[in-house]
Amino acid sequence: ALKLSGSATAFLPSVFAEASCLYSLELLAAEPAPLHALWRAPWLPRLERLVLRVPSLGPDGLAPLRGAPLPRLRELRVAPRDVRGVCAADAAALAACGLPALRVLKLSRLGLGGAAAVAAAPWVAGLEDLTLSKCADLAHRGGGGPSGACSEARASVADLAAVPLTALRRLALSGGSCGPGLDGGAVAALLAAPWAAGLERLELSGALLGGCCGAARDAMGGLAAARLPRLSALRLSCGLTAADVAGVLSKAAWLHGLTDLDLSFNPDLGSEGFAAIAGLSTPRLARLGLRFSGVSAVGLRSLALAPWLPQLQGLALDDHAVKAAAKAHRDVSGGGVYVGLGGIALTYLRIAQQVKRGFTYEHGAYLKKHTPAHALGLAREFAAADEALLPAGRRVTFLEGYSGSLALRAALAAAGGDAAGGRALAEALAAYHRSTVSRLPPGECELLYGRAGYLYSLLWLERQLGPGAEVVSHLLAQGREGAAGLGQQQARHWGLMYTWHGKQYLGAAHGLCGVVYVLLHCLPAVKESDDAAGSGLRALTAACDALAAAALPSGNLPSSLGSLEDRLVQWCHGAPGLVPTMLKAEEALGGGGRYLRAARRAAAAIWERGLLTKGVGLCHGISGNGYAFLSLYRATGEQQYLRMAQAFAVFAAERWQELYEVPDRPASLYEGLAGAVNFWLDVVDPQHSQWPGAEL
């Protein structure tokens, strides 16, 4: 089985020449893929599964497949993103293929005449799962206006209804975005087909169910009147209100047999909508999904009174308004602390903490309108939007992943007085190790993307969670293995080493500095990991010594092992990331001043070359470099480092507008303005300063 995404699809010709044992192929291309190599592949007839999610099928479309024997293919998904989509000629070429084993067919952007061509295919009778999404035939604005459109839609529906789909168990249809869709007669005609009685799952969405409220009610009436004795799962998306949909569904004879119901509404789902949904007679319902825009506490209380609620095994409430608000912030990128809305949430949490400590407008900052409650409220709003945009399957770390979202929301719950909610989220963070972190590939250890980043989330939340010791043990084992790969002498010198993308990086984001920093906060677990294979504490100390000695004559840290290039003075790959690690090593290991001296040399390099032109953020910007001075000020109490931090803060305050557009995500925490806001807050209250996402 092979799955290629993004730029990897450029290697298709060479991969196809060697893929003699391939049975499943997925292409998820961001750029046009060389599909001509696929059509010529000698092993194509042996494929059992083919998924094409590509920008375009190319000028020839699926024509090269016409008449091709594909005797083993059981699943075919074709989803081009261009306007051409899967045209009628493509559908006809597909219909002419030999597909005797095909059971699952999913076609997206099916053009006019496409549905009729599919219906005429000799193999269509064997389908068990059929999806026609964004289908122009089913919701086309015909030349004769709405009536012409409906007649065209009825014609394609008649083609589908006439096919002997005796094995069909799941049908998913969605119309195009520009037409009036099906009327009640067309829906009734489709679901009056003999094969409809065998349907177990039905999905109707897009513009399919009418383009106006009257047509949509008519279409819904046709659905409710259908005879669907085996239907157990229904997914609907339409422009009607929840009350209208619930009113129509309540008349359906098949409603009592539903175990899975998913409804999407464009209008607000207020208290009346929730009450209507709660009143549905669904004694077997096990899962309910509601997608809507806007929710009220009264509406949720109505839903809580539903008689079938206790029997639910799954409930998903998806608010379009939250996602829309999140996506409206164009100067950040989706979810996550690093460059997403999580970083904005963390910034408001920091504001709330500062104001709670008595930091007010009179102290010189522009926080006059912020009370702790107001700032926490904003933080919770951004954190909720951040969660909506950050799937659990993404990165595992505090800065880039789901553990950061869990830790942040747990802290916000506790700060807002919701101790039970905070504990529940903390437990979810602990469970995340078992479900996800423990399954990471061996090499993923760094702070930005790997195990050290998850461990940071645990430490940031200041909880004694069980998985901590296990993660520490894994990090040490991987570090020893990486050091051993350098040879015996180098292994003794470094103690620990990690590889990311084929290089042994030394910096904080992807390299040794970041991993060592979080391990230094876990000395009890490090000592517990000691065994016959060697001392974890000895390896950690060796790594700290080696990092201190690795600095270049300027005091800057090379970006990777073996590099002598003295160019990058930034948190991710240079001296700024070394400073917190050396200071923590001095505190935790008692270095006799050698680690502090390394931190001072690094600070000298930052003072000389740290006013960067890449923006005011934390990763590779002025504010991140300025935080190194605050770290040294807290550790030493020496005023010179506070003055250095203040100088960087003033420079950032004077230049942030001209530097704002330089990074890709100019409002984000690690690339942009949110990082500077945190830095300014901490410069005026340096004793409580903390480098967000990099210090504990």
Backbone angles phi, psi at 349, to 5 degrees: -65, -40
Terminal Cα distance for the chain, rounded: 43
Q: Which of 112, 115, 107 is nearest to 53 (CA)?
A: 107
The rounded distance, in Å, linking the Cα atoms of 188 and 204 is 13
The rounded distance, in Å, linking the Cα atoms of 599 and 584 is 10
Give every CB contact of residue 139 below 8 A, 6+ residues apart in sequence: 149, 153, 175, 176, 178, 179, 180, 181, 182, 206, 207, 208, 211
What's the half-sphere exposure (Cβ side, CA atoms, 13 Å) at 368?
Answer: 3
Q: Quickly list DSSP for 243-280.
A: HHHHHHHTT-GGGGG-SEEEEEESS---HHHHHHHHT-
* Residue 3 three-state SS: strand
Q: Is 572 marked as binding a ligand?
A: yes
How far is Cα of residue 206 from the mean position of the Cα atoms in its chain?
A: 24
The rounded distance, in Å, linking the Cα atoms of 475 and 683 is 34
How far is Cα of residue 85 from the mean position of the Cα atoms in its chain?
A: 27
- Cα–Cα distance list, 371 to 351, 367, 415, 655, 687 (Å): 9, 8, 13, 28, 21
In the structure encoding, which two tokens stand for residue 607, read together?
A: 């003072």
The rounded distance, in Å, linking the Cα atoms of 610 and 575 is 9
Instruction: Tell me which residue has tokens 């250095």.
Output: 644
Q: Is 445 marked as binding a ligand?
A: no
- The binding site for Zn(2+) consists of 572, 619-620
Binding residue numbers: 572, 619-620
